[in-house]
A and B are shown apart, each in its own frame.
Chain A
């Protein structure tokens, strides 16, 4: 099932193959036929689309009345606990990007609009209540938290919000930011780190100002570089978040990877987000065509091609704690010469020694991979055995790891409700509901603002 992108009513969808491409076709009785590209080429859809290892959420909040995706959340039909929960601290922003999932309001707006936006923000007391609710929902290992927006650094009480979350027991809090304030002041970065921030999720679309002019409406490369420098100086783990847009930066993936590898181990990874058509985006045809989509297999092939084979497509595996069509990841160790060794050996990737559920392992995985971990020379634990190289290996795994990940969000044109019910990135709302990220952006955002 899916929805009509015009009236948003639920409609049946048919998945079919044309050559090496997989499409979804849906018919709305009122608005006609919609066709969208789902997959193309290698790695093959069949090999990739494995049965995921989902963990049912512990709490059900909303009754099933209209059915998916209208009853979030979570309703009893949702099949996956969250790995990461977003808290939107503001809808204000100090940029006005051409592409913005959140359709955030620019600070260039007039003062009455700004005041209105500020008055709609969660208060620190409401954020505390949301934290408490989230702890109740994930008692064994609290959710990973992403503080988002709008631009969360606009809030003066951001360090307080971070410190409160850490004190209440969240082991991992990341900041989703455009990096402007981080670029302006190293002291500000230090304040965030001291407050307990685990990682910076930094908007970073490429190494050319031409790209930023198209995606963000202004030249931003210097600011991005400065923000990264400040995070490195303060040893704050940073992940580059790249919105991949056809004909804008899809040919610049390789150089972004090369750049990031040189900045390891402080740059912990790259997270690609193929563009989705929700929120705000420049002029679009009535229906996104094949050329308007960056599918997961296309992105993986581009990575291999544009790194000259340094990163091979076999290094990537599907997300198993959500839906495999939503995401991929590859883990690497960076050598002293900045060479990459893949750790995602597909034949040996299941570890059965842990008693934790798959989603708790996933939360720990993200926290380990995206936080900066200092290299500590191991102390000799035993006088009888010499394990120094083993200790070295463990330290190396921790501090010199690097990840390349991607998340393909869904929009109203390509929404697949089977994927949505397995979503593991949820948005926490003021009235203490958890709404899968794509459902929030397609259906629920307007109602919650």
Chain B
């Protein structure tokens, strides 16, 4: 399946020095896992999490899982 986004900014994996490529990653919260499309390193599989994602959806999930 061809993914619909690309690495326009030329982001590289700091460890492998390779250009990140569009790929599928799996996000796991507690017992739920679901796939998302993110830029990943073709060698080590490291995933790039953009800032808006970290401060947006990720934080929203954390808030909803948060305890009192």
Q: Assess whether B35 is in contact with A389, with CB atoms less than 8 Å apart.
A: yes
Q: Does B61 sit within 8 A of A, measured CB to CB?
A: yes
Total number of A residues with any Cβ neighbor in B under 8 Å: 39
Say whether, besides A354-B66, A365-B68, A384 and B4 are in contact (CB < 8 Å). yes
Q: Which of B34, B64, B67 contacts A320 (CB 8 A)?
A: B67
Q: Assess whether B67 is in contact with A353, with CB atoms less than 8 Å apart.
A: no
Q: Which of B27, B53, B66 contacts A351 (CB 8 A)?
A: B66
Q: Assess whether A397 is in contact with B67, with CB atoms less than 8 Å apart.
A: no
Q: How far is the CA of A366 from the CA of B35 in the complex (A)?
A: 30
Q: Assess whether B60 is in contact with A394, with CB atoms less than 8 Å apart.
A: yes
Q: Which of A341, A350, A394 contacts B67 (CB 8 A)?
A: A350
Q: Does A368 sit within 8 A of B, measured CB to CB?
A: yes
Total number of B residues with any Cβ neighbor in A under 8 Å: 26
Chain A contacts for B64, CB-based, 8 A = 368, 394, 397-398, 401
Q: How far is the CB of A194 from chain B (nearest CB, A)?
A: 27
Q: Assess whether B36 is in contact with A385, with CB atoms less than 8 Å apart.
A: yes
Q: How far is the CB of A1 from chain B (nearest CB, A)?
A: 27
Q: How far is the CA of A393 from the CA of B35 in the complex (A)?
A: 11
Q: Does A390 sit within 8 A of B, measured CB to CB?
A: yes
Q: Does A157 sit within 8 A of B, measured CB to CB?
A: no
Q: Assess whether B57 is in contact with A390, with CB atoms less than 8 Å apart.
A: yes
Number of residue pairs A-B, CB distance < 8 angstroms:
82
Q: Assess whether A353 is in contact with B65, with CB atoms less than 8 Å apart.
A: no
Residue of B nearest to A358 (CB): B68
Q: Does B31 sit within 8 A of A, measured CB to CB?
A: yes
Closest A-B pairs by Cβ, 8 of them: A362-B68, A384-B5, A389-B34, A365-B68, A397-B64, A386-B37, A351-B66, A349-B67
Q: How far is the CB of A447 from chain B (nearest CB, A)?
A: 31
Q: How far is the CB of B51 from chain A (nearest CB, A)?
A: 13
Q: Assess whether B68 is in contact with A353, with CB atoms less than 8 Å apart.
A: no
Say whether, besides A341-B31, A393-B34, A387 and B5 are in contact (CB < 8 Å). no
Q: How far is the CB of A286 from chain B (nearest CB, A)?
A: 37
0/1 string, A334-353, CB within 8 A of B gives 1: 00000001011100111101
- What are 26 inter-chain pairs, A to B, with CB distance below 8 A? A317-B67, A320-B67, A320-B68, A331-B65, A341-B30, A341-B31, A343-B65, A345-B30, A349-B67, A351-B62, A351-B65, A353-B62, A354-B62, A354-B66, A361-B66, A365-B68, A366-B68, A385-B5, A386-B37, A387-B57, A389-B36, A390-B61, A391-B57, A393-B29, A393-B61, A394-B61
